Amino acid sequence: MKCWICRTEYAATREHLVKASDLKALFGKPSQAKPLFFSASNHQSRSRCRNVKVGSLKSDTLKFEHRICLTCNSKRTQPYDYAWEHGSLELRSAVSWLLEEGSFRANWLFPYDTRRCMLHMHLYFTKLFGCLLVEDSIPIDVAPFAKALTEGQPHPRIYLAFGYLPLPVVAAGGSAVFTDPYLLNGQVAFASWLYHVGDLAVKVMYARPGEQPPVPM
């Protein structure tokens, strides 16, 4: 099977559902003696599972079922991964200050090369969202996602919002993709998805071309 991002190389590797660095930041490094517990009940393509023991951050349990190619999973999207690794760390370590301020400036989050780093963080979530669309066969055209990722340009219909969402337990993960039930020409008009690491939530929103951008959380 060809990789959905580049559409040229053989899809042989699997992307993490939740970034390994986010899991490591929250839980440390798991081991067979000190495993993580993985639960999934929302992803359509996954069989329901609860508290599956995971002894390594490289475990396939933590990854999407479908595959992308090695180049897209490593060299092509690594700058996007690093941008989120930095963004996640900074946002989580400044929660109390951010709650007082209510917002942050991009050049606070990325003091150097701000515009490019913000773009890369946007592309990290564009990649994950695209993987979710493919995984769950959601009727949204992934070609603009692939174009954004390969050209390093923003997806003009993807929006991110960051928020504080306290959870009763320490957890990291993603919701199911919420889609507007009304299709036009077989395509979804609006979709959103929530990624969370600890109490930090990232809402990823999509609006089809021609539709108003969605209102954040």
One residue of 6, 25, 57, 94 binding Zn ion per CB under 5 A: 6
Question: Per residue in 184-210, is it b (16+ CB within 10 Å) or e — as a string?
Answer: eeeebbbbbbbbbbbebbbbbbbbbee
What the block records as the tokens of 49 is 């599972």
Strands of the chain, DSSP E = 36-40, 49-54, 158-164, 172-174, 178-179, 183-184, 187-188, 190-197, 200-207
Closest to 148 measured CA to CA, from 2, 42, 4: 4
- Residue 169 identity: V
The residue among 23 and 72 lying less far from Zn ion, judged by its C-beta, is: 72
Task: State the nearest-atom distance from the C-beta of 72 to Zn ion, in Å.
Answer: 3
Question: What's the half-sphere exposure (Cβ side, CA atoms, 13 Å) at 23?
Answer: 22
Task: State the nearest-atom distance from the C-beta of 170 to Zn ion, in Å.
Answer: 34
The residue among 9 and 199 lying less far from Zn ion, judged by its C-beta, is: 9
Torsion of CA 57, 126, 164, 168, to 10 degrees: -40
Task: State the nearest-atom distance from the C-beta of 73 to Zn ion, in Å.
Answer: 8
The residue count for binding Zn ion (CB under 5 A) is: 6
Identify which range of 3-11, 50-58, 147-155, 158-166 contacts Zn ion by CB under 5 A: 3-11
- Residue 110 identity: F
Site string for Zn ion, 8-47 (x = CB under 5 A): -x--------------------------------------
One residue of 5, 36, 91, 160 binding Zn ion per CB under 5 A: 5
What the block records as the tokens of 74 is 């490593």
Q: Decide: is 3 part of the binding site for Zn ion (CB under 5 A).
A: yes
The residue among 9 and 136 lying less far from Zn ion, judged by its C-beta, is: 9
Neighbour count for residue 31 (Cβ, 10 Å): 10
Site string for Zn ion, 63-82 (x = CB under 5 A): ------x--x----------
Task: State the nearest-atom distance from the C-beta of 64 to Zn ion, in Å.
Answer: 14
Task: State the nearest-atom distance from the C-beta of 102 to Zn ion, in Å.
Answer: 39
- Binding residues for Zn ion, rule: CB under 5 A, are 3, 5-6, 9, 69, 72
